[in-house]
C-alpha cells in the first residue's frame, strides 16, 4: 500500500493519489473499524445557490450537526474528509461517513431532498450537498436496486477492496491544487450513546408475554426481539431503496407476513427505524370516491363502475399505475 500511487478510481484524468500516506491511513481505518453493520456514505458539500463558500467554519459546523444528528439517533459515526478547488464546482468538501447501522438506518437523515432536514440545516450555513452513490454493482440490493452507500465488511475480500477504491476518490490529485490550508481531516473517537437495542425488549415485551418458542435451543425474549427488529428493519430498507410510496411499503410488508396500518408504518419509519421524513415525502396515492372515479371514466369515454349508485360516496384506492392518468384529466 505504501508504494501505491494510483487506484482504478484515481488513475488517468484524476491524476493518481495526491497523498499516499493519508490514503493508507484511510484504508487502515476501514480495515480496523469495529461497527457491526458499517455503512460508508459519500457526501459532497459546496456553496449553495451557485455561490462559492470559502468559509471553513461553515463546513465544519455543518458536518458536526450532521454527525450529532446521527449519534442522537443511535448511530455512531466516523469520517474522513478532503477539501478541493475545482474550476466548475469551486470550493467544496468530500466527506466519507462510516455509520453504524446495526440498530437504526441513516438513510432517513442523509437525504438531500428539498425541504428535508439535511437540506434545511445546510442552508443555514450557506451550503448544499449531494450524495454520491457507489458505482460498482457489488453494492446493489438483493433485488438489484442501487444503494446510496456501501456496506463495509470486517473481513478482507472483494467488497472491502472496492470500498477502498471508492474512498480513494477523496485522495485524488486532481483539484487539490489551489486549496488554501490543510486538505485532509478526520473524526475523533466519540463516546458511544445508547442504541435502539436497549429499547427493543420493552417494545415487544407485551407481545412476547406468555409465549415460548422452542427451536432446539431456548431463545430468550431479548434475542427474539432483536432478531425481529433487524428483520423488519431490513424489509423497510429494501422498500426505501426501491423508492416505494407508503402504500407500496404497506404491501411490501404484507408480502412478508407483516400487516400494519399506515399510521403505524409512518410512526415506525420516523421514530423507531430513523427513516426521518420518508413517509411524508413518499405519501400513498390519494383515495378517490366511486363518484370521482366514474366521472373520470365517463369523461374519457370509458365504461363507469356503477359503484357510486350502489355504494353512495364510498371510496376506493386507485392503483398506482392509474393515478397519473387520473391526475392529468381531473387535476387531483
pTM over 0.75: no
The total of other beta-carbon atoms located within 10 Å of residue 171's CB is 27
User: What integer pLDDT is reported at residue 69 of this predicted model?
Assistant: 95
pLDDT of residue 207: 46
CA 276 – CA 270 distance, rounded (Å): 4
Between CA 60 and CA 51 the distance in angstroms is 18
285: nearest Cα among 257, 326, 313, 235? 326
Is the pLDDT assigned to residue 109 strictly greater than 80?
A: yes
| The pLDDT of residue 204 | 57
The pLDDT tens digits for 168-209 are 999 999 999 989 999 999 998 755 544 555 555 555 554 454
Ramachandran category for residue 276: left, alpha or beta (phi over 0 → left; psi -120 to 50 → alpha): beta
Point out the least confidently predicted range of 11-15, 73-77, 187-191, 324-328. Answer: 324-328
94 within 8 A of 44, measured Cβ to Cβ: yes
Confidence category of residue 85, pLDDT binned at 50, 70, 90: very high
d(CA 74, CA 104): 7
Sign of CA dihedral 16, 147, 243, 92: negative
Q: For residue range 286-326, list pLDDT tens digits in order.
A: 777 777 777 877 877 776 666 655 555 555 555 544 444 44
As a whole number of angstroms, the distance between CA 183 and CA 217 comes to 54
Is residue 76 within 8 A of residue 100, CB to CB? The reply is yes
Q: What SS3 class is residue 69?
A: helix
Q: What percent of the chain has pLDDT over 90?
A: 45
Question: How many Cα atoms are found within 13 Å in the side-chain-facing hemisphere of 31?
Answer: 10
Question: Per the structure block, which three cell numbers stand in for 316?
Answer: 376506493
The chain-wide mean pLDDT, for the chain, equals: 81
Amino acid at each position: 500500500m505504501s508504494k501505491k500511487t494510483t487506484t482504478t478510481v484515481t488513475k488517468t484524468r484524476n491524476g493518481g493519489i495526491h497523498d499516499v500516506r493519508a490514503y493508507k491511513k484511510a484504508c487502515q481505518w476501514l480495515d480496523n473499524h469495529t461497527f457491526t453493520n458499517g455503512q460508508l456514505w459519500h457526501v459532497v458539500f459546496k456553496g449553495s445557490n451557485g455561490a462559492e463558500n470559502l468559509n471553513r467554519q461553515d463546513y465544519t459546523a455543518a458536518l458536526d450537526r450532521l454527525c450529532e444528528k446521527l449519534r442522537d439517533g443511535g448511530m455512531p459515526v466516523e469520517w474522513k474528509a478532503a477539501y478541493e478547488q475545482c474550476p466548475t464546482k469551486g470550493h467544496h468538501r468530500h466527506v466519507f461517513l462510516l455509520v453504524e447501522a446495526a440498530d437504526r438506518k441513516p438513510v432517513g437523515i442523509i437525504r438531500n431532498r428539498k425541504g428535508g432536514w439535511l437540506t434545511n440545516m445546510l442552508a443555514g450555513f450557506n451550503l448544499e450537498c449531494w450524495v454520491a452513490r457507489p458505482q460498482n454493482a457489488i453494492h446493489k440490493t438483493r433485488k438489484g436496486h442501487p444503494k446510496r452507500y456501501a456496506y463495509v465488511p470486517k473481513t478482507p475480500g472483494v467488497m472491502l477492496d472496492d470500498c477502498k477504491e471508492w474512498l480513494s476518490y477523496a485522495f485524488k490529485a486532481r483539484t487539490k491544487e489551489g486549496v488554501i490550508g490543510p486538505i485532509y481531516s478526520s473524526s475523533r473517537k466519540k463516546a458511544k450513546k445508547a442504541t435502539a437495542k436497549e429499547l427493543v425488549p420493552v417494545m415487544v415485551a407485551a407481545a412476547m408475554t406468555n409465549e415460548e418458542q422452542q427451536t432446539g435451543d431456548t431463545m430468550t425474549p431479548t434475542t427474539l426481539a432483536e432478531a425481529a427488529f433487524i428483520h423488519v428493519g431490513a424489509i423497510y430498507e429494501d422498500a426505501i431503496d426501491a423508492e416505494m410510496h407508503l402504500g407500496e411499503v404497506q404491501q411490501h410488508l404484507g408480502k412478508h407476513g407483516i400487516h400494519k396500518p399506515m399510521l403505524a408504518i409512518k410512526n415506525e419509519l420516523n421514530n423507531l427505524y430513523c427513516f426521518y421524513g420518508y413517509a411524508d415525502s413518499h405519501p400513498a396515492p390519494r383515495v378517490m370516491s366511486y363518484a370521482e372515479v366514474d366521472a373520470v371514466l365517463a369523461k374519457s369515454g370509458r365504461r363507469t363502475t356503477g359503484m357510486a349508485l350502489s355504494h353512495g360516496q364510498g371510496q376506493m384506492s386507485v392503483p398506482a399505475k392509474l393515478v397519473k392518468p387520473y391526475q392529468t384529466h381531473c387535476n387531483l
